[in-house]
Every structure is written in structure tokens, then in C-alpha cells.
Amino acid sequence: MIYEVRTYDMKPGSVAMFEENFGNALPARQEVSPLAAFFHTDIGPLNQVIHIWPYDSEDHREECRAVSIEGWPPQNGGNILNMDSQIWNPAEFMTPMGDRELGNIYEMRIYTYQEGSKDEVLSRWSNAISHREQYSPLAAGMYSDLEDGTFQWMHVWPYEDLAARGRVRSEAGENPNWPPPTREFLVKQENKIVIPASFSPMH
């Protein structure tokens, strides 16, 4: 199983229309393969849409994307400024993404770790994740290898609202087993708050 995470930077003011067009065109696309989630950013890099597609393998992805679908891709009116596609591998402890009702907002955190640290980092996350999920569920936990030898780790957390996020993070921070001790390997940390579309399977 792999996940393709497609991130589009949109012109200001165009996100709502793109999301509507995407939702209208989606049923035909999902006859080929399912969508896992669709978000737009609310805090962090603004005017981004993020759609996540699961595939059995990279060959399966290529087969699906080669299928001609009427009305797909959805119209964007020239409003996409940049498109990024990245392949992610789910951690062994991750519940598959898809039709799950988890929260009104999601925090997407992406950490870049040093070359050669992946096995140790993932092991430490595996040992710690059950302690964190005492407070709220993990929506996604997956890694992606970069060309320079480093790797990225994405973990996505659902919350009812920002107040719930603050409360849960405070409570989890008091647990001696959280967060996993991986700071020595960290290169960079990023995060964004995203909101699921009305048609997003994960919401």
C-alpha cells in the first residue's frame, strides 16, 4: 500500500470553486480508485488543497492514472499555481486512511529526519504511539524517502476544534512516554491545520 499526496497551491480566492468542481467530478474518478481524503489549509500555508489517494503499488497508481475519465481532472480555471505529488508509505501501526469520521479539523505535521535514521525513528514512534492515542486517534502516519538520503515523517491528528487540540496536546505532553525521543535526528519540522471537504471520506 502507498499513498499519493497531491498538494496544489491555488490563487487566492479560488479554493472554494476548485473544491466544488473537484467534488462534482469525483464520483467518476472514484470508479477507478478511491479517494482517502481531501483537505484545504486553514492555518499555515494558505490557499492549498491536499488530496490523498491510496494505491496497491506504484504500478497500480500508473494504471489508474492512465484511465481516461470524462470530466477528469476537474476544471481549475488556470488557478493552480503549483502542483506537488509525493509518494508516502504507511507505518505498520497506521490504520488505513479512508471513510472515517474523526474530527472537524486536522493537524498535519511533517518532520524531516537525518539520513540513516529511519529505522530507529520509526521504531521509537512505534513504541510511543499507543501512549499518544490514549488522548486522540492517529489519522495517518507515513514516511517518504527523499533524494538526498533524508526522509520525511507525516503524522496527522484530528480534533473537534482548536481548543480541543490545545487541551489534548497539553494532556499528552504530561505523559512520560510522549513524544518519542527523536529530536537528535530532526532536521526540520512543519505543520498546518487543514479542514476536510464535505465529500472527503476522512472527515
CATH number of the structural domain spanning residue 160? 3.30.70.100
- Residue 79 located in a structural domain: yes
Cell of 43: 492555518
Confidence of residue 194 (pLDDT cuts 50, 70, 90): very high
- Cβ-proximal residues to 146 (8 Å cutoff; 6+ apart), any chain: 112, 152
Dihedral sign for Cα atoms in the order 189, 137, 120, 117: negative
- Asked if residues 106 and 137 have their Cβ atoms less than 8 Å apart, the reply is no
pLDDT (tens digit per residue) in 29-59? 999 999 999 999 999 999 999 999 999 999 9
Instruction: Determine the number of helices (DSSP H) and then strands (DSSP E) in the chain.
Output: 4, 8
- Asked if residues 112 and 61 have their Cβ atoms less than 8 Å apart, the reply is no
- Asked if residues 26 and 35 have their Cβ atoms less than 8 Å apart, the reply is yes
- Residue 201 located in a structural domain: no
- Residue 166 located in a structural domain: yes
- Asked if residues 23 and 178 have their Cβ atoms less than 8 Å apart, the reply is no
- Residue 202 located in a structural domain: no
Q: What is the pLDDT of residue 37?
A: 99
53: three-class secondary structure by DSSP: strand
- Cβ-proximal residues to 163 (8 Å cutoff; 6+ apart), any chain: none
Q: What is the pLDDT of residue 86?
A: 98
State how many domains the chain has.
Answer: 1
The span from the CA of 87 to the CA of 108, in Å, is 16
Confidence of residue 159 (pLDDT cuts 50, 70, 90): very high
Confidence of residue 176 (pLDDT cuts 50, 70, 90): very high
The span from the CA of 104 to the CA of 154, in Å, is 19
- Residue 203 located in a structural domain: no
**23 phi/psi in degrees, rounded to 5:** -60, -40
- DSSP code of residue 96: P
The span from the CA of 193 to the CA of 142, in Å, is 18
The span from the CA of 28 to the CA of 68, in Å, is 10
- Asked if residues 4 and 87 have their Cβ atoms less than 8 Å apart, the reply is yes
The residue segments making up the domain with residue 102 are 2-196
